[in-house]
């Protein structure tokens, strides 16, 4: 319980930073919009080129759609583009957030400018991440239920190892394999496996999601079918706003943690003791 309360305090301090730097919300908002547009564009092209082929395969075996080489290529391209977009804006967010928690005044344009200068390294990382994602998809289609549970553990380990990818790419300008090794090293040597703040963040937004879930049902009881439609629209907008805030708070959190991990310095509202107690250090 004590660990959770400290993690909750850590999240509140991240919210305090966001409260005085609301323009940081631009990064995840632009990331989400760009991913939607890029995905629609890619899926539209492949749907136009191979739509009949996919439809034929699905009609012949709807329970287990057989992936063709073209479909795997399209999925790989979709992964690369979306990973590039997400990491690009995450790098910009971390750059701006890190500078501001250190007492600076980095603008949104400055964050985007440095992220653009790292575009080559970010693209290389996107290819590596997309390759991992495709390999997981291929393995998942060939494994049994119990074997897929083991696959989930591998994906979880990958997620932990890549926690600091954005700040590493932003600050150290290294290749994807070195960035993965560096991110994993920072996580393992400095922090260990459990982040109380991460659990607090997840629970915090889970609780905040409840009003969005119940809104359509309440409006349906009050206004019938039109109320349900309006409630669903409100729920979509609410979740979009919630996910944007969540992504920004997480970016601020990662920026603060990375700064402490590499400099052992903390800036207001954080204290050095916050980092030492929230994370369980490895022996």
Contact 94, 251 (CB under 8 A): yes
What are the residue ranges in the chain where pLDDT is below 50? Answer: 1, 62-63, 192-194, 279-283
Residues 6+ apart with CB under 8 A from 190: 261, 279, 281
pLDDT in tens, 52-68: 665 555 555 544 556 67
Looking at residue 38, its pLDDT comes to 93
- Residue 137 structure tokens: 């998809």
Looking at residue 283, its pLDDT comes to 43
Taking Cα atoms as reference points, which of 267, 277, 276 lies closest to residue 13?
A: 267
- C-alpha 255/C-alpha 19 separation (Å) is 16
CA-based end-to-end distance of the chain:
23
Looking at residue 81, its pLDDT comes to 96
Looking at residue 28, its pLDDT comes to 93
pTM of the entire predicted model: 0.81
pLDDT in tens, 32-54: 999 999 999 988 887 776 666 65
Looking at residue 32, its pLDDT comes to 92
């Amino acid at each position: 319980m004590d660990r959770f309360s400290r993690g909750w305090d850590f999240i509140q301090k991240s919210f305090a930073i966001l409260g005085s730097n609301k323009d940081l919300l631009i990064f995840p908002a632009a990331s989400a919009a760009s991913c939607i547009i890029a995905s629609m564009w890619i899926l539209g092209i492949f749907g136009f080129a191979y739509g009949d082929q996919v439809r034929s395969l699905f009609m012949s075996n709807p329970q287990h759609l057989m992936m063709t080489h073209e479909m795997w290529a399209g999925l790989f391209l979709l992964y690369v583009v979306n990973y590039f977009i997400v990491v690009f804006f995450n790098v910009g967010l971390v750059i701006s957030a890190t500078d501001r928690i250190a007492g600076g005044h980095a603008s949104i344009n400055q964050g985007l400018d440095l992220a653009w200068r790292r575009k080559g390294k970010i693209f290389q990382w996107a290819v590596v991440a997309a390759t991992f994602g495709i390999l997981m998809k291929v393995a998942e289609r060939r494994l049994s239920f119990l074997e897929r549970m083991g696959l989930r553990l591998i994906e979880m380990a990958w997620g932990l190892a890549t926690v600091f990818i954005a700040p590493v790419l932003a600050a150290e300008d290294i290749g994807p394999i070195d960035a993965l090794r560096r991110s994993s090293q920072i996580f393992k040597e400095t922090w260990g496996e459990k982040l109380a703040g991460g659990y607090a963040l997840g629970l915090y937004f889970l609780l905040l999601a409840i009003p969005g879930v119940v809104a359509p049902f309440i409006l349906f009881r009050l206004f019938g079918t039109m109320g349900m439609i309006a409630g669903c629209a409100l729920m979509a907008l609410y979740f979009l706003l919630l996910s944007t805030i969540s992504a920004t708070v997480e970016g601020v959190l990662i920026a603060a943690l990375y700064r402490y991990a590499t400099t052992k310095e903390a800036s207001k509202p954080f204290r050095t003791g916050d980092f030492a107690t929230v994370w369980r250090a490895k022996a």
